[in-house]
Amino acid sequence: MTPPYNKAHFDFANLPYLTSPRRQLNLQGVALGLISLPPDEGYTFTHTHAEQEEVYIVIEGNGFLLLNGELVSLEPGDIVRVSPATKRALKAASLSKLLVICVGAVPVGYPKDPNSRYMIDDGVPDYDDVPPWYAGRDDIATRNATLKERMLRAEEKRRRKQSG
């Protein structure tokens, strides 16, 4: 029998960049991400979703949310809804850590991969779309190219597994 609730504790002061409490909370219908960005650091690429609408809740610090090229400033107490097709990326302000909770409903049929780290595995990273805060940086371009290559290898591995 499934317990009536699940409780987990997270040290918000020492979270990695992205924490998915899916397994600790046995989440079934809510996608949840805890995002902790050090001062002046942010996503190195944008992403969209196929179906998932996301809501970003700013808990601590200041920063920016890049939405289809528009830079939206963030401060504690801000809540921003982002439609699935909107390109997005987060960045902490230069003097402030940024702690954000990202939530979304899980459409029927997700996650597509039962072993997925996240409840909603419909994210579409655009490794070639570097946010303005990292524009022109060769180290970021190299990092993103490595991530893209790893993603393409994983997709090919899944295709081969499914076809044979």
The pTM (predicted TM-score) of the whole model is 0.89
Q: Give me the mean pLDDT over the 124-147 stretch.
A: 96
In angstroms, the CA 140 to CA 143 distance is 5
Q: Label residue 12 by pLDDT band (50, 70, 90).
A: very high
**What pLDDT shows up at residue 29?**
82
Is pLDDT at 130 greater than 90 in this prediction?
yes
pLDDT at 116 over 90: no
- CATH architecture assignment, domain 12-163: Sandwich (2.60)
How confident is the model over 131-158, as a mean pLDDT?
Answer: 93
Where exactly are the structural domains of the chain? Answer: 12-163
H or E segment to which residue 105 belongs: strand 98-105
User: Which residue did the predictor score with more confidence, 123 or 55?
Assistant: 55
With CA atoms as reference, report the closest residue to 105 among 44, 19, 32, 42. Answer: 32
How far is it between the farthest Cα atoms of the chain?
Answer: 54
Edge to edge, the sheet with strand 70-74 lists 70-74, 63-67, 88-92, 46-49, 123-126
Nearest residue to 37 via CA among 78, 102, 103, 97? 97
Q: Residue 119 pLDDT more than 70?
A: no
CB-CB contact of 96 with 61 (8 Å): yes
